[in-house]
Amino acid sequence: MNGFDLIARCLKEEGVTWMACFPANPLIEAAAKVDIRPIVFRQERGGINAADGFSRQTLGKQVGVFAAQDGPGVENSFGGIAQAWGEGVPLLFLPQGAGTDKYSIAPNFSAVRNYEKVTKLALSIDDVTKTAREMRRAFHAIRQGRPGPALVEMQRDILSQEVPENAMHYEASKPMKYAPNRNAVKDAVSQLLSARHPVIWAGQGVLYADATSELMILAELMQIPVITTMEAKSAFPDDHPLALGSANRTAPKGVYRWLGISDTFFAVGSALTRTSFGQDVPPGKFMIQSTVSPEDINKDYDIDLGLVGDAKLTLEAMIDEVKAQVGEDGRPKNEELHSMITQTRREWLEDWMPILTSDEVPVNPYRVVHEINRAVDHDNTVLTHDAGNPRDQIMPFYKASKTPLSYIGWGKTTHLGFGIPLMIGAKLADPSKFCMNFMGDLAFGHTGTEIETAVRAEVPITTLVINNRTMGGYDTKMPTAMEKFGAGNQGGDYAGMGMALGAKGIHVDKAEGIVPAIAEAQKANENGEVVVIEVSTRQDTRFSQYPELLTQER
């Protein structure tokens, strides 16, 4: 057995069943020999994004793996790894190294030095006897605390050597969970119970900890409304009476109202990272933060009370503490709060219903979102957006169901085209679900050829492209370049491109055609066909934003 064979064996021990790759790396052959299915993508980013989607959809219980070749392969992987780093996605990146005679000498590309800033751990195997130990170190880093990508560079001269018998043993790393201290939990509960307008801010740590039920129980016992971050959109059901919605840079009115009026703010399973693709928390609140990583406390905000630990263990401890302080049944229903939430929601939908149901032609993108909500079975669907206006249009209005992971929200850094490979990974993780990504026409250009990967690998997903033939909103961002040269416009037939790549293509021009097209896509997916739906739309730069509510009087 050589070093590559041993890495394949380590992957097997860690439960890896498939590996994204591009296009040549001795590990591909070694993995296939132990029945790990290699799927070759059309370029590196597609493979990394699919491994990323797989990890998200399995909540890191199975880690997505991507193998690249040295040189252009490892150089071209940067965007995908940076995105996983930005969003704390557990992922293993296995590029081949140029060899120990070259890798540290310029201008050869050193994976370790270049990826150090976007991985939790970046190491190079420089001795074949250390292979198993380094693999265990990488898996440990990926899983412990805040998850994230790790890189193991495989120097070809080293890993093609035979492994001595005494260096072959491998045992999978086990995740460890830890809980915050009891006094901090007690103080957090007392503070929340004494607040006039508390609010809960649920981050993706709630999803990774599988703590949706605990979050619902705590919110109900304490009668506190819940905002989710974009990454945690499906961590709390959007139709729950205490749900305010998700805090992208567009959001339902309730998100803005409670960010404005709340006096005590409880972030759970959240790094509380300031981002342009989210909402800042206005100053002047008592800040409580629960997170798995202590370095996220006092990172972007001054935190009054930190709870370091797993979100589920934290919420369980808080539930016990609430019961101890106010009784087994918690607080009675807060009628005033419920009617304020309902009223805010009603006002918001009054603003938006005419747009969501508009009959205008070309169709506006909000009508497409409205039709998607009508067409899908939310509990059995995994939906995602893409970068750009499509994200800002769908995020406030798509109804995340009571099933965690029914929506994958993303966007600390928002790479155009992520949606297609992300859904390939999600579908591999959860084949029984209808997996659909919603994207713009420019975004399709980035990863559209991965439709062929989905066809070849038999991963039946649906891509819905809203084609407005431009980069939405850029006519105001660069008016001269647009007017003189049409610099932000582009053209193409994306359903046609899907067909050319072996998928079913459906063109839709009118709003009435959207629900039947999605029904047809669902049926085709069930029969193993990949689908691209292209809806002709117009650009729309109206957004669900209510910044004036962020500074209201308490």
Nearer to Mg ion, 191 or 536 (CB): 536
- Asked whether the CA dihedral 398, 62, 65, 133 is positive or negative, the reply is positive
- Rounded CA-CA distance 310/49 in Å is 26
Considering the rule CB under 5 A, would residue 468 count as an interface residue with Mg ion? yes
Backbone angles phi, psi at 286, to 5 degrees: -75, 120
Backbone angles phi and psi of 146, in degrees to 5: -65, 125
CA dist 10 → 32, 237, 393, 544 (Å): 13, 38, 43, 48
Q: How far is the CB of 510 from Mg ion (least distance, A)?
A: 19
With beta carbons less than 8 A apart as the criterion, state whether 68 and 111 touch: no
Nearer to Mg ion, 204 or 467 (CB): 467
- Residue span 350-389 as binding mask against ligand TPP, x where in contact by CB under 6 A, dash where not: -------------------------------------xxx
Cα 337 vs. chain centroid, distance in angstroms? 31
For ligand TPP, the closer CB: 480 or 527: 480
Ramachandran angles phi, psi of 388, nearest 5°: 95, -165
Q: Do the beta carbons of residue 151 and residue 78 sit within 8 Å?
A: no
**Nearest distance in Å: CB 442, ligand TPP:** 3
Name the binder of 387 from Mg ion, ligand TPP, none, CB < 5-8 A by kind: ligand TPP
When asked if residue 390 is in the footprint of ligand TPP (CB under 6 A), the reply is yes
Q: Which one of residues 471, 530, 531, 535 is an interface residue with ligand TPP (CB under 6 A)?
A: 471
Report if residue 395 touches ligand TPP, rule: CB under 6 A: no
In 3-state terms, what secondary structure has residue 533? strand
User: How far is the C-alpha of 415 from the C-alpha of 425, rounded, in Å?
Assistant: 16
Q: Judged by CB under 6 A, which stretch of 95-103, 123-131, 207-215, 412-420 contacts ligand TPP?
A: 412-420
According to CB under 6 A, which one of 25, 55, 364, 414 is a site residue for ligand TPP?
414
> Is 4 within 8 Å of 154 (Cβ atoms)?
yes
Q: Which is nearer to Mg ion, 90 or 388 (CB)?
A: 388
Residue among 55, 279, 470, 525 that touches ligand TPP (CB under 6 A): 470
Residues in contact with ligand TPP, counted by CB under 6 A, come to a total of 17
Give the distance from CA 319 to its chain's centroid: 28
Contact stretch for ligand TPP (CB under 6 A) within 278-286, 315-323, 409-417, 507-515: 409-417
Q: Is 412 in the site for ligand TPP (CB under 6 A)?
A: no
Tokens describing residue 499: 């067909």
Are the C-beta atoms of 63 and 90 separated by less than 8 Å?
Answer: yes
Who contacts 242 (Cβ-Cβ below 8 Å, separation ≥6)? Answer: 219, 220, 223, 224, 225, 226, 338, 341
Q: Which of 440, 448, 460, 513 binds ligand TPP (CB under 6 A)?
A: 440
Does position 441 interact with ligand TPP (CB under 6 A)? The reply is: yes
- Amino acid of residue 402: K
> Which residues are CB-neighbours of 180 under 8 A, at least 6 positions away?
290, 306, 307, 308, 309, 313, 314, 317
The binder of Mg ion chosen from 87, 238, 441, 529 (CB under 5 A): 441
Q: Please tell me whether residue 252 binds ligand TPP under the rule CB under 6 A.
A: no
Assess 529 for contact with ligand TPP (CB under 6 A): no
- State in angstroms the smallest separation of the CB of 448 from ligand TPP: 11
| Among the residue ranges 16-24, 126-134, 176-184, 463-471, the one whose residues contact ligand TPP (CB under 6 A) | 463-471
State both tokens at 303: 């935190």
Binding site for ligand TPP (CB under 6 A): 387-390, 414-416, 440-443, 466, 468, 470-472, 539
Question: Site residues (CB under 5 A) for Mg ion?
Answer: 440-441, 468
